[in-house]
């Protein structure tokens, strides 16, 4: 196998790698503390509270088309000299690439993030749409694309009415999505599309829902909270491992979090240990103020009909 001489040199001596990383981090910090200083200072505040109108430097990125391009131009001017000197260095910004989509996170402060996104040429109609909530403000820096804008009009019994329209965006234009009922999809890109995005998640992210665009059917739902998603995966893992010793903990956790994660926790608790799970189910069903009281009561009735012996657990749990 052929190994380039530069790579061979780096393998034999770690010092140049450290020097390259220090140089690139200094270049990033020079941009963040210099040309981008005012914007990133306001990103800190926007990540906590307020509307975009409260932050003039941040808002100008999406109100005056040259501002966003200037911000990215300053970043390139800071990083390129360091990359030319250290071509094998790692740019110290979070990034990812998948299926023609490149994402470079410039900064994150609290619930707000500033991201540079590139879409490669493509023409693809999507059969479904995800509604996730939050806010997104986008400035098109280069290229052109067809964008489908969707609005969730109503939801009933696992189906949704969705309004959609398609428009073409070009460099200098902006896009905006606010609230759970609005989202958008890039369906066709001419050449390449480059977008600067400002996003902010909600303090309590709503549940993510995916609907079929053909008939409005609900295809998938998931917690919008990263911590709850992690908890759901951990709970499911305990269930698959058969960890009955975790049932009392799951019973306690069935009182905490959103309705979705509480219900999932309760299901795993019931599967692991009928006594702990049914006692937790009874407590929820018996509380009229609990938003899960009705479904818990219905499940309780079904279980008692199928397994009458569970009534003994209820008798032992009831404070009367």
Same-domain pairing of 35 and 156: yes
- Give dist(CA 301, CA 293) in Å, integer: 12
Which segment, 85-94, 133-142, 301-310, is predicted with the most confidence on average?
Answer: 133-142
pLDDT band at 118 (very low <50, low <70, confident <90, very high): very high
Same domain assignment for residues 149 and 161: yes
What is the mean pLDDT of the segment spanning 38-59? 94
pLDDT tens, position by position, 239-282: 899 999 999 999 999 888 888 889 899 999 999 988 888 889 88
Does one domain contain both 177 and 231? no
Residue 88: per-residue pLDDT: 81
Nearest to 270 by CA among 258, 282, 260: 282
Residue whose C-alpha is closest to residue 256's, from 243, 247, 265, 248: 265
Model pLDDT for residues 275-311, shown as the tens digit of each residue? 888 889 888 988 889 888 998 889 888 888 888 887 7
288 and 177 in a common domain: no
**187-237 tens-digit pLDDT:** 999 999 999 999 999 888 888 889 999 999 999 877 667 778 888 889 889
Task: Count Cα neighbours of 263 within 13 Å in the Cβ-side half-sphere.
Answer: 14
- Do residues 52 and 81 share a domain? yes
In this structure, is residue 240 part of a structural domain? Answer: yes
Cβ(193)–Cβ(143) under 8 Å?
A: yes
pLDDT-based confidence at residue 320 (cuts at 50, 70, 90): very low
122 and 60 in a single domain? The answer is yes
Band the pLDDT of 318: cuts 50, 70, 90.
Answer: low
CA angle at 196 for the pair 167 and 74, rounded to the nearest 5°? 140
Question: Which of 192, 222, 252 is where one domain is finished?
Answer: 222
Task: Specify the DSSP element, H or E, that contains 119.
Answer: strand 112-123
pLDDT-derived band of residue 185, with 50, 70 and 90 as boundaries?
A: very high
Asked which of 199, 222, 245 is the last residue of a domain, the reply is 222
pLDDT for residue 184: 93
Asked if residue 132 lies in contact with residue 201, where contact means CB atoms within 8 angstroms, the answer is no
* In the chain, % of residues over pLDDT 70: 94
The helix/strand/coil state of 66 is helix
Q: Are 277 and 252 in contact (CB under 8 A)?
A: no
Whether 234 and 311 share a structural domain: yes
Q: 3 lies in a domain?
A: no
**Residue 31 — very low, low, confident or very high, per pLDDT cuts 50/70/90?**
very high
Domain that holds residue 281: 226-317
Rounded CA separation 78/160 (Å) = 48
Residue 10 lies in a domain: no
* Type and span of the H or E element at 31: helix 15-33
**Domain edge (last residue) among 204, 222, 240:** 222
String of DSSP letters for 184-243? EEEEEEEEEEEEEEEEE--SSPPPEEEEETTT-BEEEEE-S-HHHHHHHHHHHHHHHHT-
Distance (Å, rounded) from C-alpha 163 to C-alpha 150? 6
Cβ neighbors of 63 (< 8 A, separation 6 or more) are none
Residue 15: pLDDT band (50, 70, 90) is confident
Residues 200 and 310 in one domain: no
Q: Residues 118, 101: contact at Cβ < 8 Å?
A: yes
Q: Tell me the percentage of the chain whose pLDDT exceeds 90.
A: 56
Which structure tokens are listed for 271?
Answer: 């599967």
End-to-end CA distance of the chain: 77
Look at residue 1 and tell me whether its pLDDT is greater than 90. no
The structure's pTM equals 0.76
Structurally, the chain folds into a number of domains equal to: 2
Do residues 139 and 256 share a domain? no
Report the chain's mean pLDDT, rounded to a whole number: 89
- pLDDT over threshold 80, residue 8: no
| DSSP bridge pairs for 123 | 188
């Amino acid at each position: 196998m052929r190994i380039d001489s530069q790579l061979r040199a780096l393998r034999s001596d770690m010092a140049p790698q450290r020097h390259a990383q220090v140089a690139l981090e200094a270049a990033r910090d020079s941009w963040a503390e210099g040309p981008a200083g005012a914007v990133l200072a306001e990103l800190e505040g926007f990540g906590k509270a307020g509307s975009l109108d409260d932050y003039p430097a941040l808002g100008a990125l999406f109100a005056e088309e040259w501002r966003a391009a200037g911000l990215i131009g300053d970043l390139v001017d800071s990083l390129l000299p360091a990359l030319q000197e250290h071509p094998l260095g790692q740019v110290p910004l979070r990034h990812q690439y998948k299926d023609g989509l490149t994402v470079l996170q410039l900064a994150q402060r609290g619930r707000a993030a500033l991201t540079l996104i590139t879409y490669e040429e493509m023409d693809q109609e999507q059969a479904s749409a995800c509604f996730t909530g939050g806010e997104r403000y986008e400035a098109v820096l280069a290229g052109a694309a067809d964008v489908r804008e969707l609005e969730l009009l109503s939801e009933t019994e696992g189906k949704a009415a969705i309004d959609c329209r398609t428009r073409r965006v070009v460099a200098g234009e902006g896009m905006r999505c606010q609230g759970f009922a609005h989202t958008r999809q890039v369906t066709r890109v001419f050449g390449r599309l480059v977008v600067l995005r400002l996003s902010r998640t909600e303090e309590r992210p709503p549940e993510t829902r995916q609907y079929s665009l053909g008939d409005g059917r609900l295809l998938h739902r998931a917690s919008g909270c990263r911590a709850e998603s992690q908890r759901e995966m951990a709970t499911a893992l305990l269930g698959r491992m058969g960890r009955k010793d975790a049932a009392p903990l799951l019973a306690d956790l069935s009182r905490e979090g959103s309705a979705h994660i509480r219900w999932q926790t309760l299901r795993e608790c019931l599967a692991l240990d009928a006594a702990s799970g049914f006692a937790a189910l009874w407590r929820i069903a018996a509380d009229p103020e609990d938003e899960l009281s009705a479904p818990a009561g219905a499940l309780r009735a079904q279980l008692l009909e199928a397994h009458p012996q569970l009534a003994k657990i209820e008798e032992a749990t009831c404070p009367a």
